[in-house]
Structure 1
Amino acid sequence: MSRHTLIGGGTGFIGKGLSNRLVKTGYDVTLISRMPGLNRITWLDLERNGIPKGVTSVVNLAGQNVLDPSRRWTDGFKQNVWTSRVNTSSVLVKAIAAAPYVKAFVNISGVSHYKPDETHIYTEKDPGHGFDYMSKLCLEWEKAATLPADVTHCRGIKVRTGVVIGRTGGMIKNIWLPFKLGVGGPLGSGKQILPWIHVDDLCGLIIHAIESDNVEGVLNGVAPEIVTNGEFSKAFASAMNRPCLFAIPEFIVQTIFGKDRSALLLSGAKIHPKRTLDSGFKYKYPTAKDACTEVVQKISS
């Protein structure tokens, strides 16, 4: 039986890793992008013509990069961050409802609607709370990605991710040079929790969700080890054989990113991937030490 995955946002950091892994395991892959091309359709094509025949699974990774330091946190940029997630999810849900050959829909969202708490450890059973911009976005994002009750031909899976760790993008790309120069360190106090996952594990979890007929609903896409920003920074510095001495003050982070965005870096909830583990998924990099060692070895090789 042929396996064909349609990926929204497939040209980014996570999308490239997922596409390569799917192709290596025998999948056909088509991307949805703003520009047409080989093995691509545009979002306009999708709205006009629906999901291409033969597609068996859909993954949505689309979304404007929130932590792009070159972009000011203006009303226009905030609107783009919002619509690039909510609108694409809505478009795909509508298209999937009319495509009985699609058997799995995996939508990537975030963990921001888990409100930071010093004692509580969240699992997938915990409801989200809309207490700031990012948490409200996550709630609307998942609402838009919910398949209607009468769509019975397709499983809907929502993977809530933390910070994605990998050598070609995300947080590591931004912190690599300071740590290499020996001036890297935690953000703010460093005591805030940092929910995270290695990009290889996230891609593996998406494929696991596509291929496991018993998987449906919410999965926490975070590593099982709960660490603070300071602990992760020390693990990364250790993997690079560098010191971890220079914390970046909270006011500098807020000056660069603004209050809404800096919350992603300066606060975080304790999250356990209970349903993810119960589904049979096995992490390749379950600890910060494992993840940082792999990333540094890849970059250095």
Structure 2
Amino acid sequence: MRVLVGGGTGFIGTALRQLLKAKGHEVTLVSRKPGPGRITWDELATSGLPRCDAAINLAGENILNPLRRWNEAFQKEVLSSRLETTDLLAKAITKAPQPPQTWILVTGVGVVLGRGGGAIGHMLLPFRLGLGGPIGSGQQFFPWIHIGDLAGILAHALEASHVQGILNGVAPASTTTNAEFAQALGTVLGRPAFIPLPSIVVQAVFGQERAIMLLEGQKVIPRRTLATGYQYSFPELGAALKEIVS
């Protein structure tokens, strides 16, 4: 298939692009900067949708970017990066003489674990130094997913005609608590993982609104994802972490 991927230059987009190409699909990216195999968002707005069988939008500023203060300007950037790109793609699809058969929007997933990026990139150094541990109480749920499975779920939704509706992008073992996650990562690295990151520090770094996501967590079960027939490559946390840090 010819697949158009919005925001496909980041961590998730790179993994998805590699998987789709390995499966024989042709991928065109929509990004802010021009380049081979890409069109820009401006070109999409002015020239319309290139011919494609499916469109996927991954675009969106990372809401938990620890290097950005949670002020009004960044809040607007987080919203606009998702809403404006989705609106652009939706309008282009509506106007296309041959609209794509499949339209996938990625709006919320678990903590994405993988080599060379994602959440694990910020965790490895303190954990390798023996300074890792749970966030706050550690009793909050910590939904996670391996990058290979997130890309796999998207490819599955793309290729399987019976897949419709909302799929939770989390692993089946996502009833893990934050403390259990910290312990598992420490075990894989052969390091202790008992130094907690106090709630007050999390609030100071991320701001109170964003800190809620890390300190309160959410219990998420991928029932519909499993019901579609998707087979996880990394359903268990220990195996996922071993593959990432090996």
Distance 2:197 2:48 in 1: 47
Q: TM-score, normalised by structure 2?
A: 0.96
Query: What residue is the counterpart of 2:42 in the other structure?
Result: 44
Q: Residue 198 of structure 2 is aligned with which of 249, 254, 257?
A: 249
Partners of 2:236 and 2:245 in 1: how far apart? Answer: 14
- Cα distance in structure 1, aligned partners of 2:209 and 2:21: 37
Amino acid at match of 1:241: G
Residue 83 of structure 1 corresponds to which residue in structure 2?
80
- Summarize deviations over 1:280-299 as a string: whole Å, max 9, x none: 001111111121111111xx
Query: Aligned to 2:106, what secondary structure does the other structure show?
Result: strand
Q: Deviations over 1:164-209 (max 9, x none)?
A: 1111111100001001111111111110001111110000000000
Secondary structure of 2:88's counterpart equals: helix
Structure 1 counterpart of 2:60, one-letter code: G
The residue number in structure 2 matching 1:219 is 167
When normalised by structure 1's length, the TM-score is 0.79
CA–CA distance in 1 between the matches of 2:208 and 2:179?
Answer: 20
- Specify the code of the residue in structure 1 equivalent to 2:68: R
Per-residue deviation, 1:95: 1.4
Counterpart position of 1:146:
none
Q: Distance in 2 between matches of 1:275 and 1:291?
A: 21
State the percentage of identical aligned residues.
Answer: 46
Whole-Å separation in 1 of the counterparts to 2:46 and 2:81: 18
State how many pairs are aligned: 244
Deviation digits for residues 242-269 of structure 1, max 9, x if unmatched?
A: 1111110010011001012112211222
After TM superposition, the runs of 4+ consecutive aligned structure 1 residues lying more than 6 A away are none
Shift of 1:71: 1.3
Question: Matched residues in 1 for 2:170 and 2:66: separation?
Answer: 24
Partner of 2:61: 64
1:7 aligns with: 5
**For residue 184 of structure 2, what is the aligned residue in structure 1?**
235
Unaligned runs of 5+ in 1: 111-160
1:104-123 matches, within 5 Å, as 104-110=102-108
CA distance in structure 1 between the partners assigned to 2:101 and 2:15 by the alignment: 22
Aligned to 2:31: 33
1:136-185 Cα deviation digits (max 9, x unpaired): xxxxxxxxxxxxxxxxxxxxxxxxx1111111111100001001111111
Of 219, 223, 235, the residue aligned with 1:270 is: 219
The gaps in structure 2 that reach 5 residues or longer are none
Letter in 2 for 1:193: F
Please name the residue that 1:153 is paired with.
none
